[in-house]
Chains A and B, each alone.
Chain A
C-alpha cells in the first residue's frame, strides 16, 4: 500500500478567502488562496487556526473538498448551531479576509489514483466532503477507475454538490446513488431509509472485486457501514474510515 506521508515541517500558512458559494442553507464552500500550497491528495484535510484580537486562538480540522488547483483550496463548512469555528467560517468571513491554515494532513484516508481497483465511497451527511475531493480528482485526471458513491443524506435540500454530481455522473464509470433518510425528492423510486445490508448489496461493489472502500460520516454511521461491509466479506484492511461532523463536539 502506497503511503503518502506528511513530509517535513507543517508550517502555518496564511490563506486569503477569494470566493465562497452556499451549498445548502447551512453549508458554505469557502475558497482560500494559499501561497506556495504544496498540493494535496484526495481525502486529506487541513488544520485551521483562528485567533481573536486578545490573542485567544483555537484550531479545527476540515477536509479538503477540491482537487488540486494551484494555490486554491476549497473547504465545505457545515454550520453547527453551537459551533465556535464553523459559524465564523461559513457566515462571518468575508472575501479578502485571512486565516491561518496548515496542511495537507493525513495519508491514510486518501484515494491513490495509481491503484486501479474500483473505489466504493460511502458518505453520510457532510462526510461526503473528502469523498467529493476523490470524485473531483478522478474526473480531473480523466481516470477510468470505476467509482461508486453512496451518499446518505437527510433530504434533497441537504445534498451537497448535487448539480456537479449530476454532471459528473454522465461518466458511466462513476455511479452516484443517494439514500434519502427522511424525505425523498418527488417521484423518487425508493422510500426514505438508511443504508443497510440490502442497499450495500444492491448498489455497492461485491467484496470479490476487492474495491478500495472509503467511509466517512458521523460516528454511528461509520460504525454501522463498516460493520456491514466487513460482514459482507470486505477485507477490513481495505475499508478506510473517517469520522466527521458534530460527534466530535461542536466545531
Chain B
C-alpha cells in the first residue's frame, strides 16, 4: 500500500489492461543498459563452458553450439530500471539441453560473461524450460549491444540476470554474488515480488 498520494498526479493507465509487475511501465522500444563498453566477441574464438562443482566441464565452440537444437520463445522482459517490454521473440538453446547428463549437487549458478560481468541465481531457475542461451532476437542475429553473439535469457527474473555476452555458467554448492548483486541488488530478483534491492 503506497504511503502518500501525489496531488495532481493522474498517471497513464495500462493499455489493454495488461498486468505489469509492480512499479513497472511499458515501453515499445528496446532500451540498452550495461555497466561498461560493449565487448566485441569474435565467433572464431567464442566458446561457452559449463563447469560443475565436481570439476566436470563441458565446452562448446560456435559451431558445436549452433548445432544444438534451438527453439523459438516469446517472452516478457522486466528491467529493474522500471521498463517492461512484452512479447519479445527470441531463438536460442534451452539451458536444459546444455546441462543434460551433468552430475551435480549444485544449488546455485554463477553466470559469467565476456567483459567480466557476472550474475548469480539458483540453478533451478535455469532449468525446466525457464532459461535459454539466445542468439537471435526478432528474427535477426543478436546485436552486440543487446548481448550478442549469445546472451542468457531468464525472463521470469529481472533482466540483469539475463547476462549479455555470456561465456559460461559455474554450478556451485554455495552462492557467490555477481556484479550487481555485490552492489546491493537482489540475489533472486523476482519482478512480481518487486525484489529490486537486497532486502526487498
Contact = CB atoms under 8 A, between A and B. Distances in A.
A61 B82 contact: yes
B36 A240 contact: yes
Interface stretch (A31-39, A73-81, A105-113, A182-190): A105-113
A59 B191 CA distance: 13
A198 interface: no
Contacts of A239: 36-37
A59 B24 CA distance: 7
B46 interface: no
Interface stretch (B7-15, B50-58, B69-77, B89-97): B7-15
Given A6-B183, A236-B115, A249-B27, A52 B36 contact: no
Contacts of A98: 4, 6
B23 A49 contact: yes
A149 to B, nearest CB: 19
B199 interface: yes
B163 to A, nearest CB: 15
A108 B35 contact: yes
Interface residues of B, number: 45
Interface string B163-198: 000000000000000011011110000000000111
A12 to B, nearest CB: 6
Contacts of B199: 8-10
Give the dominant DSSP class at A's interface: mixed
A208 interface: no
Contacts of B38: 223, 226-227
B116 interface: yes
Contacts of A59: 23-25, 82
Given A5-B184, A241-B35, A243-B32, 6 more contacts: A4-B183, A58-B12, A61-B82, A98-B4, A108-B180, A237-B116
B37 A49 contact: no
Contacts of B39: 236
A151 to B, nearest CB: 20
Nearest to B185: A6
Which among B11, B24, B27, B196 has the highest number of chain A CB atoms within 10 Å? B11
A28 to B, nearest CB: 15
A84 interface: yes
B129 interface: no
Interface in A102-145: 105-109
B103 interface: no
Contact of A60 (B13, B27, B82, B198): B82
B162 to A, nearest CB: 16
A88 B8 CA distance: 8
B101 interface: no
Interface in A6-59: 6-10, 12, 14, 47, 49-53, 55-59
A228 to B, nearest CB: 9
Contacts of B43: none
Contacts of A97: 6-7
A248 interface: yes
Closest 7 CB pairs of A and B: A6-B184, A249-B27, A9-B199, A226-B37, A107-B183, A59-B23, A51-B2
